[in-house]
Structure 1
Amino acid sequence: MASNLAPQDLENLQLRAVRYALAHGLLYLPPGTQAAIPMSAIHAPIALFPTPFPRAQFERAKSLQSTYNTLYARIALDTWFLDEVMGTERGVGKVDDFVGKLWTGWKALRDEGLHQVRFIVSISDLCSHMVRPLHLGLFRSDYLLHVSEDNNVSIRQVEFNTISSSFGTLSQKVSEMHRHLCASTGFYESSPYLQALNLPPNNTIAGLVEGLAAAHTVYDVPSSQILFVVQPGERNVFDQLWLEYELLEKHSIKVIRLTLDELSSCSSVSSINAPLFITPLSTRGVIPIEISTIYFRAAYTPTDFPTPSHYTTRFTLEKSKAIKCPSIPLQLAGGKKVQQVLTQPGVLERFLSDEAHWGLGSSSPPEVISELRASWMGMWGLDVGGDDGVNRAREHAMNLVLKPQREGGGNNVYKEAVPAFLDSLPLEERQAWIAMELIAPPKGMKNYLIRAGGGESLVEMEVMSELGIFGWALFGDGVGESEGKVREKEVGWLVRTKGKDSNEGGVATGFSVLDSLVLVD
């Protein structure tokens, strides 16, 4: 897109992009930051030009989000389904220690009396004295463009994220940066598409905060606050802080940021389904603060739980009546195994057809179900049919990615690495892995990437870009006029761009840069 630009124009664009990022909070903490009060920051990794993306496919991805919001809300409320797919008796939890510990803790809380959900099959159920909890999801559905054998280009889903769906706020900042470059330089007329009318708006900050504020409002304790559970030494802190600032400035809602370590000594829940109170070290002697909503930006990976006490703290939070974002069942619903099981005949229809008598809003017509299925690649479990799943994966290895039940990037096995991995995979661990056909993105797309901090010169390379669509869902009792209604909304988007030869895609793990879109017809 920019190969015809003079070197001085490229340098000026890079300077303007870096200055804008530094001036507008498009930031990371530097590597190795240890001080409690950081003294410096660097800009996040960014793409110099927005990525061309078909307008119709962008609108299609956005239109699917409401259905996905409702789908994963219903999955989180189906205790039987999650027990079967993710539990330790018959599901993934048998062979995946992290999933197993989460499920076991959740099961113990249910046995102790944690509010749980049953199918709504009669008016007597609706009038039951049993109160079902509220859940909040801040979701992101990720897509790549796929070029089929007949050269049709359409979106294909990579994964659906139900916990710590990050970079919503920085994605808005990158969109604004590209709009600034367009307004100030016109990108030096490097492409006829690079006009303001082709740069779609992105208001993800307000959209995600709308979901958090909705949960806080429904909790209905005016003095309560929202808890952000964060990782120690978080470099991506500014992506979280923009949400905190928006909550305070636009909704007058205060936020407390604490790690699981800190929560182990300053949080308390008197009994199952009781309020969660926090007494931070800085406010000892002050009346404890009640928490309305717990927003997890940690607790999605085994490294967040180095000791058994970390799991104990996580389960203490879960047993409170605070609204969890996500609850353990909603976190489990985001597992790769669930994504694979949904592709099996009849499973998606179970949640979205007329037979799904959940009272969670209107049923999805068959064409919507077909649209969802059309956005998926082929996938199967390695445990399918005895050795059939593994043999099939070995046969098609060069067109496959193997995925475990992990978030955060850097966990998958690709192409030529598949056969050796299958040779080393113990029989009992097959159930924890799925095989997914690789998406074939368009070729010949180039961009200039600026790594975090600007320490490198501008790097031009052939790239591929992943689109993420954000949404939120608040579901359970007390959300709307009907029992179990889902309040949900599509609220923004994210683009991550990487070199075409890079298999992994995480920004935080250093594989990708943040980007935005220029829509083309």
Structure 2
Amino acid sequence: MKMTSTSFDFASWPPELSETQLEETTRYATTYALAHGLLYLPQLPIQPPIPSSAIHAPLSLFPTPIPRRLFSLAQQLQNFYNILYARIALDVEFLDKVMGAEEGVGRVDEFTGKLWRGWKEIRDEGVQRPLQLGLFRSDYLLHARENEPLELKQVEFNTISSSFGTLSEQTAKLHRYLHATTGYYDLSPVLKEENFPPNQTTAGLAEGLAAAHKAYGNKSAYILFVVQAGERNVFDQRWLEYALLERHSIHVVRQTFDELMTSASLDSNRVLKLTLPTKSAPIEISTIYFRAGYTPTDYPGTEHYSIRFLLERSKAINCPSIPLQLAGGKKVQEVLTQPGVLETFTKDWNYPGTTSQEFIDILRLSWMPMWGLDQTGERKILSGSEQHLGVQKARDRFSTLVLKPQREGGGNNVYKEAIPEFLDNLLPEERQAWIAMELISPPQGIQGYLIRSGSSSASGDTQHAPVKTEVISELGIFGWALFGFEDGHVDEKEVGWLVRTKGRESNEGGVATGFSVLDSIVLVDE
């Protein structure tokens, strides 16, 4: 059965490697990764304060084929999304209604409610908000409909801890290296230099942080990275730190919430300062970049929320602020698909070369149908109880759906056959925190050679086991936006991309959670 009208045969990808070629390519790939910082810390019961070993990140031996037309579309969309989510974060009334603890998701989702209530208290104090910075990533899958051209469909939009930008750049370099070294054994005509798109995500993300630092106005201030304890994905963060120092002469300090409890304070002007044992005087913070704080486990006690709210009260530019983090909620993604909602954020759209209606049409075409489980409307009696329309639709269509909560980090969704039992146990008051989304249908038959680092042996070595399996690849586009200026303008830029590839049998897609490997792109024509 012909699934799409594209001339590229996805089902024939990747070219078949002989056993000797596979062994050689794996050796080249893993040694390149180890030599070029494409790394994780090993999985240990407790990470030592001074790391003494590392393993390569999970990776793919071949890049993923992406139609040139859809890659260009994804890059264009990022500029639109940068501005859209900046505007959402500034719309207090909208966020209160959709995500708040009085009438929105925060009523039934404890984590969302705590963040919103802290933000509301800060607003009620009359604290003047500084500029806000977003380092974003919009994630997509290719969508195949029978006898139709491939489409680009958004999975989600990330507003906090949008990771793997720097390691994805290293993965793109890895695939260029494999091409330069082996020519991929002349196995495919699409594997040529001009089909490997450039990826400069590290410089792009650093540029966004540097723009916020410059807008803050104190060259001697530091940028604070708020990180999780025992972080294994530390090299993805360190590459940004090095770029800030080498390209912009900006220093970075890394702190966990626990460390900030003793180091952080605000002076009478709300200037955030950290008192550190390695510094003779407190240091001032210009920008706060959160690589933690997106999951309830980052806040084991009320004091952790208190630190987050202290940072929000400061004059430092938060990346993201609490409202921008709330804007990234799945419920916001669903509400935007409702008639007339997107138009409220685009009525004065003046992006060069694009009218407001064109902007709306392009964005809507990137969305799958979705709805809230709390959706009202017609009801019917099912198993002796009333069912909301949103729940009823999810029951009727469960085999084609994914249910999503207001969570980041991977591993939180409910898929297909697991949905009916989940709905049986979902309390009516919890429905508002969940959305249902039609599953995207990626092209079938595409395979990949995936390599993960093996378990550490007694000698400290790791074992590598390349596996060829049918895969699904997710494209992420990075961008940044600096906003909150008095004249309402948004400084924004699309700055790079990533690809994460997983076995088709896996529903989830996070690299850090162990479901995916890092990948890159080879552009193909239709």
Q: Give the TM-score, by structure 2 length.
A: 0.92
5 Å-filtered alignment, 1:325-340, equals 325-340=319-334
Distance 2:217 2:355 in 1: 31
Distance 1:170 1:350 in 2: 37
How many angstroms does 1:222 deviate by? 1.9
> Which one-letter code corresponds to 1:520 in the other structure?
V
Contact map agreement 1:47 1:497 (CA 8 A) in 2: yes
Check if 1:452 corresponds to 2:453: yes
Contact map agreement 1:449 1:513 (CA 8 A) in 2: yes
Distance 1:262 1:363 in 2: 47
How many angstroms does 1:149 deviate by? 3.6
Contact map agreement 2:15 2:188 (CA 8 A) in 1: no
> Which one-letter code corresponds to 1:163 in the other structure?
I
Check if 1:279 corresponds to 2:280: no
Distance 2:439 2:500 in 1: 18
Distance 2:126 2:284 in 1: 21
> Which one-letter code corresponds to 1:351 in the other structure?
F
Identity %: 65
Check if 1:461 corresponds to 2:469: yes
Residue 347 of structure 2 corresponds to which residue in structure 1?
Answer: 353
2:504 to 500, 503, 512: 500
Change (3 A) 1:492 1:3: closer
Contact map agreement 1:353 1:363 (CA 8 A) in 2: no
Distance 1:49 1:36 in 2: 35
Check if 1:25 corresponds to 2:70: no
1:66-118 Cα distance to aligned partner (Å, 9 max, x none): 00000000000000000000001100000000000000000000111122xxx
Residue 109 of structure 2 corresponds to which residue in structure 1?
Answer: 96
1:166-214 Cα distance to aligned partner (Å, 9 max, x none): 0000000000000000011001112111111100000000000000000
How many angstroms does 1:485 deviate by? 1.0
Distance 1:362 1:329 in 2: 30
Residue 413 of structure 2 corresponds to which residue in structure 1?
Answer: 412
Distance 1:400 1:360 in 2: 34
Contact map agreement 2:14 2:446 (CA 8 A) in 1: no
Residue 142 of structure 2 corresponds to which residue in structure 1?
Answer: 145
How many angstroms does 1:361 deviate by? 9.6
How many angstroms does 1:362 deviate by? 10
Three-state SS of the structure 2 residue aligned to 1:352 is coil
Contact map agreement 2:59 2:518 (CA 8 A) in 1: yes
Distance 2:479 2:108 in 1: 31
Contact map agreement 1:138 1:470 (CA 8 A) in 2: yes
> Which one-letter code corresponds to 2:218 in the other structure?
V
How many angstroms does 1:452 deviate by? 2.9
Contact map agreement 1:46 1:452 (CA 8 A) in 2: no
Distance 2:252 2:161 in 1: 16
1:113-172 Cα distance to aligned partner (Å, 9 max, x none): 122xxxxxxxxxxxxxxxx52000000000000012433211100000000000000000
How many angstroms does 1:252 deviate by? 0.3
5 Å-filtered alignment, 1:98-137, equals 98-115=111-128, 132-137=129-134
5 Å-filtered alignment, 1:325-404, equals 325-354=319-348, 364-385=355-376, 387-404=388-405
5 Å-filtered alignment, 1:139-178, equals 139-178=136-175
1:244-280 Cα distance to aligned partner (Å, 9 max, x none): 0000011000000000000010000135x61100112
2:315 to 316, 321, 325: 321
> Which one-letter code corresponds to 1:300 in the other structure?
Y
Check if 1:183 corresponds to 2:180: yes
Contact map agreement 1:144 1:157 (CA 8 A) in 2: yes
Gaps of 5+ in 1: 116-131
5 Å-filtered alignment, 1:252-271, equals 252-271=249-268
Q: Which runs of 4+ in 1 moved over 2 A?
A: 1-5, 149-152, 359-365, 452-456
Three-state SS of the structure 2 residue aligned to 1:406 is coil
Distance 2:43 2:166 in 1: 21
Residue 384 of structure 2 corresponds to which residue in structure 1?
Answer: none
> Which one-letter code corresponds to 1:435 in the other structure?
A
Three-state SS of the structure 2 residue aligned to 1:133 is coil
Three-state SS of the structure 2 residue aligned to 1:440 is coil
Residue 13 of structure 1 corresponds to which residue in structure 2?
Answer: 25
Contact map agreement 1:360 1:484 (CA 8 A) in 2: no
How many angstroms does 1:61 deviate by? 0.4
Change (3 A) 1:440 1:363: closer
Distance 1:146 1:226 in 2: 39
Distance 2:518 2:495 in 1: 18
Distance 2:520 2:310 in 1: 39
How many angstroms does 1:237 deviate by? 0.1
Distance 1:194 1:167 in 2: 24
Three-state SS of the structure 1 residue aligned to 2:278 is helix
Distance 2:352 2:64 in 1: 36
1:471 to 462, 476, 479: 479
Distance 1:507 1:195 in 2: 27
Residue 520 of structure 1 corresponds to which residue in structure 2?
Answer: 524
Gaps of 5+ in 2: 1-12, 378-387, 455-461
Distance 1:64 1:505 in 2: 22
Change (3 A) 1:199 1:25: same
Q: CA RMSD in A?
A: 1.5
Contact map agreement 1:360 1:486 (CA 8 A) in 2: no
5 Å-filtered alignment, 1:196-211, equals 196-211=193-208
Distance 2:223 2:68 in 1: 37
Check if 1:72 corresponds to 2:85: yes
Distance 1:360 1:375 in 2: 18
